[in-house]
């Protein structure tokens, strides 16, 4: 069972004692990301995430930071999303104190050396350019822009070449002060530890972080009334097709049904899209479903990488499978299989201290009621075949369709003709 503590400066701490393990993962969640950014500094959350690895007051160089963890057999990394930025370290249990010291030092005392900023700026710009050379990334870049812009959710989390080129050290320090404070931070620890020993250590290490008010972001309300599309010409051997619709926020009671729809359609070799599009028709090598739930909105979609000649037919086949789920009741045994696949994925992931720390930390950072694995699997089991049909009818709407295609197409007509359920 997890234990929750509130540290003196109001940082929230979650601890999972796992005496059967021999590792410990410490994760830090900062409740900020791309949707909190002003357009002028788009990408600053991601830029800061990179810079926290480039030197601290105690370890002035990136190499010293890396050696501190890798020299004890540990791993660490970070990620930036639209609403949350995450830093984590996984180490052998006897080195917990070193992992904690490195992570806390990164957050509380980063250097932001001007020379390192300029080097990392060039690295991030290359990262951004890589997207435009990678069609299976580019199609989702286009889909996000199509769905969300001009809202911040439509921007690349890493920003643009123009904004990254203009972000200054002063911008970063200002953003850090505004968002990296105690009220916005959750620490989650899982592994071979005892809470009564580590809570005082964590409180001391993070004591320099001050308390400040939470920030707000621009809410999103979809007003889409007609299907939208973007077919980008690019000379490629494969075409990349991604189609999406709106779904539910992370607190919505039907979020479990949407998760099962995702599994039924595109998770695994027995899914409907894999069987219909790859196995029966031979239209695509890669086909899948995807989706996400944010604080106030969500989306659902399907993706395929195909021979350009079969791309329009593949889109038609995907939407046919969507429409079938909205018009024909799903067989009970198919729903049972999907439930077992989802639950199995959750249960198997819980064998790792990193996954356990993330499970609890991410829920707390999103200010959700913390649900255990048993809580979630029980909610999954409650979903009925009628729920699946009802939710499919609700989210699979012609006027909500968004289509992005990347491939050697000089005309969009064949796709537009098929963009309907």
Domain ranges of the chain: 2-205, 228-418
Q: What pLDDT, on the 0 to 100 scale, is given for residue 1?
A: 84
Q: What is the mean pLDDT of the chain?
A: 96
Q: What pLDDT, on the 0 to 100 scale, is given for residue 153?
A: 96
pLDDT in tens, 34-83: 999 999 999 999 999 999 999 999 999 999 999 999 999 999 999 999 99
pLDDT in tens, 294-338: 999 999 999 999 999 999 999 999 999 999 999 999 999 999 999
Write down the pTM of the prediction: 0.94
pLDDT in tens, 247-299: 999 999 999 999 999 999 999 899 999 999 999 999 988 999 999 999 999 99
Q: What pLDDT, on the 0 to 100 scale, is given for residue 285?
A: 86
Read off the pLDDT band of 125 (50, 70, 90). very high
Q: What pLDDT, on the 0 to 100 scale, is given for residue 345?
A: 94
Q: What pLDDT, on the 0 to 100 scale, is given for residue 268?
A: 86
Read off the pLDDT band of 368 (50, 70, 90). confident
Q: What is the mean pLDDT of residues 187-199?
A: 98
Annotated active-site residue 170? The verdict is: no
Q: Is the pLDDT of residue 367 over 90?
A: no
| Top CATH class, 2-205 | alpha beta
Q: Is the pLDDT of residue 15 over 90?
A: yes
Q: Is the pLDDT of residue 11 over 90?
A: yes
Q: What pLDDT, on the 0 to 100 scale, is given for residue 210?
A: 92
Q: Is the pLDDT of residue 104 over 90?
A: yes
- The rounded distance, in Å, linking the Cα atoms of 33 and 45 is 6
- Active-site choice (17, 37, 39, 49): 49
Quick check: do 2-205 and 228-418 share a fold? yes
Read off the pLDDT band of 218 (50, 70, 90). confident
Q: What is the mean pLDDT of residues 329-358?
A: 96
Q: What pLDDT, on the 0 to 100 scale, is given for residue 30?
A: 98
Kindly indicate whether the domain formed by 228-418 is annotated with CATH number 3.30.830.10: yes
């Amino acid at each position: 069972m997890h234990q929750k503590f509130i540290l003196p400066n109001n940082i929230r701490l979650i601890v999972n004692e796992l005496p059967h393990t021999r590792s410990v993962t410490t994760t830090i969640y900062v409740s900020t990301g791309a949707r909190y950014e002003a357009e002028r500094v788009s990408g600053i959350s991601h830029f800061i995430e990179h810079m926290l690895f480039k030197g601290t007051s105690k370890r002035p160089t990136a190499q010293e930071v890396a050696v501190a963890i890798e020299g004890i057999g540990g791993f660490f990394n970070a990620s930036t999303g639209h609403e949350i930025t995450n830093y984590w370290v996984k180490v052998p249990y006897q080195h917990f104190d070193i992992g904690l010291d490195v992570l806390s030092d990164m957050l509380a005392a980063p250097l932001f050396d001007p020379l390192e900023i300029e080097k990392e700026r060039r690295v991030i710009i290359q990262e951004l350019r890589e997207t435009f050379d990678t069609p299976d990334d580019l199609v989702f870049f286009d889909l996000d822009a199509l769905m969300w812009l001009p809202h911040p959710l439509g921007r690349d989390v890493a920003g643009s070449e123009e904004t990254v080129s203009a972000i200054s050290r002063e911008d970063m320090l200002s953003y850090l002060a505004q968002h990296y404070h105690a009220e916005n931070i959750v620490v989650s620890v899982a592994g071979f530890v005892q809470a009564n020993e580590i809570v005082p250590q964590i409180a001391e290490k993070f004591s320099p972080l001050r308390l400040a008010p939470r920030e707000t972001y621009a809410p999103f309300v979809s007003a889409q009334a007609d299907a939208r599309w973007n077919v980008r010409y690019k000379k490629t051997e494969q075409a990349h097709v991604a189609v999406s619709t709106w779904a539910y926020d992370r607190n919505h009671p039907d979020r479990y049904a949407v998760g099962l729809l995702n599994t039924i359609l595109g998770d695994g070799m027995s899914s409907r899209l894999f069987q219909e599009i790859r196995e029966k028709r031979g239209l695509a090598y890669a086909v899948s479903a995807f989706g996400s739930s944010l604080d106030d909105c969500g989306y659902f979609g399907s993706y395929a990488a195909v021979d350009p000649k079969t791309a329009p037919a593949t889109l038609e086949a995907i939407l046919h499978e969507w429409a079938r789920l909205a018009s024909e009741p799903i067989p009970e045994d198919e729903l049972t299989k999907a439930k077992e696949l989802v639950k199995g994925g959750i249960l198997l992931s819980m064998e790792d201290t990193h996954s356990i720390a993330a499970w609890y930390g991410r829920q707390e950072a999103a200010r959700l009621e913390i649900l255990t694995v048993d809580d979630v699997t029980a909610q999954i089991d409650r979903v009925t075949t009628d729920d699946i049909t009802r939710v499919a009818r609700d989210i699979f709407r012609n006027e909500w369709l968004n289509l992005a295609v990347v491939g050697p197409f000089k005309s969009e007509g064949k796709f537009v003709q098929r963009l309907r359920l």
